[in-house]
Amino acid sequence: MDRNLPQRQTGLFHVVSRRCCSALLVVLLLPCFLSCSFFEKNKLQAVIAAGELVVLTRASPTTYYETPEGPAGFEHDLVKSFAESLGVNPRFIVAEKFSDIMPRFLKGEADMAAAGITVTESRARLVRFGPPYQEIRQQVIYRLGTARPTHVQELIGRQIEVQTGTSYVERLNELRREHPELKWTEVDRETEELLQTVWEGLLEISIADSNIVAVTRQYFPDLQVAFSFPNPELLAWAFPRGQDQSLHDAAMKFLAQSRASGELAQLIDRYYGPASRTNFVNLSVYKVRLRSVLPRYQLLFEKAGKKYGLDWRLLAAIGYQESFWNPEATSPTGVRGMMMLTEETANHLGVTDRLDAAQGIDGGARYLQSLITRMPPGVTEPDRLWMALAAYNIGINHLEDARILTQKQGRDPNKWNDVKNYLPWLADEAWHSKTKFGYARGMEPVLLVNRVRTYYDVLVKTDEEEKARNKPQALDLKAPAI
């Protein structure tokens, strides 16, 4: 018995020692475990706790850009809406080039990337894509007046440049398997820059996504689509790969709700609708008149805009749509002047001479402002402005008839994207006979809004470029005196 006692004591000592060591090890390693992802909040909780969603994007007409009123752009607005649904603020990190997006995102600089990213197999191996929010096609672009290629075979031997690091390169590599002689140059320039180079006649061919082409052609109408590659492609947000996909899942839920409510379709129409409905002829003439005619009346538009709290460029866009900036314009229906006021409206506004440019512009601006004010409280911007423009053309009573039709069809009477579909019904006897104010040419206000939006977008871009050119250069205090 006594001889075994030391052995039992020794064994007990080893057990206690091992347990003590294990406890000590836990204490020593606990801070490490607490800092590891196993104990961390998931990404969605971390974003909510931080109060901000960090987003990597790029500056372009289709993604994110600065305006006098603040940041704008399709990606900006969609991400902002997503952030608001999470109860946080978005913080945008703007990459200089599209080719920087993926490398910087993989380094962990942002919670997500939203930059018009095309879903491809190679990218899907690096990031987790959210559900697609837009479908586009890659298009071959050339300049009007040059030889138009009609299929891939006719691209052989042409001067082609595309942006490096894009899905265009992947598509061209696929095509080269069937057409080994197909050659192109990859350049470290943004797609929008390359399209402008085609317009300038310094490059024969480039390739761009259809959404980029639609917006860019507003400013460079000589750009033409030669043909589109088959099989549409999808744009989506990028999230980090890994087991935690909480933020990704939140985006899936948000986009599903946005699609079901019609908000996504409305946003797409806001940024791409007018661009997709323009044509070469009216924009070419418009760009000429921006420089030859508008300067005669710009101060009048600016004065009226300041007086009534409206963007003078919007008033100018309306004036062009209504009269091509002709103060003596007269329509067969009796509306007259720069802003095409009816006699009744002019009398109500105190406009004594509709053919006087100053009176006409002032009256048109005051009339538009009154229509904006009279829109129902549930109609918010930018729908409030679009509906006021429709009422400018068709009258507020007929607009209200269309809103009622919209509501009866189960759509939202406070959304222009829905109401515009039912305005044309006012010309159909099967429907206008059921309205309070009867027949109206309901397609005309839809066309007016589309065209004014296009003219406004082009004028804003032209005006901002002019301001940038004329902006005084900062004095370099470090430069040596001469």
Q: Which residues are catalytically annotated?
A: 322
d(CA 315, CA 302) in angstroms, rounded, equals 9
Q: At 380, is the secondary structure helix, strand, or coil? A: coil
- The residues, any chain, with a CB within 8 Å of residue 464's CB and separated by 6 or more, are none
Rg of the Cα trace of the chain?
Answer: 30
d(CA 316, CA 302) in angstroms, rounded, equals 9
Residue 115 near residue 61, CB atoms below 8 Å: no
d(CA 79, CA 47) in angstroms, rounded, equals 14
DSSP line for 403-451: HHHHHHTTS-TT-HHHHTTTGGGGGSHHHHTTSSS----THHHHHHHHH
d(CA 135, CA 479) in angstroms, rounded, equals 51
Amino acid at the residue 263: E
Residue 225 phi/psi, 5-degree rounding, is -90, 115
Nearest by Cα to 419 from 449, 372, 387, 444: 387
Nearest by Cα to 203 from 140, 138, 142: 142
DSSP line for 75-135: HHHHHHHHHHHHT-EEEEEEESSGGGHHHHHHTT--SEE-S-PBP-HHHHTTSEE----EE
DSSP line for 44-66: HHHHHHHTEEEEEEEBBTTTBEE
Run of H or E residues at 186? strand 185-187
Run of H or E residues at 347? helix 343-349
Structure tokens at 98: 């599209």
Buried b (16+ CB within 10 A) or exposed e, 465-476: eeeeeeeeeeee
DSSP line for 133-157: -EEE-EEEEEETTSPPP-SGGGGTT
Residue 412 near residue 378, CB atoms below 8 Å: no
Strand-pair category, 233-235 with 161-163:
unpaired
**Beta bridge partners of residue 187, listed in sequence order:** 163
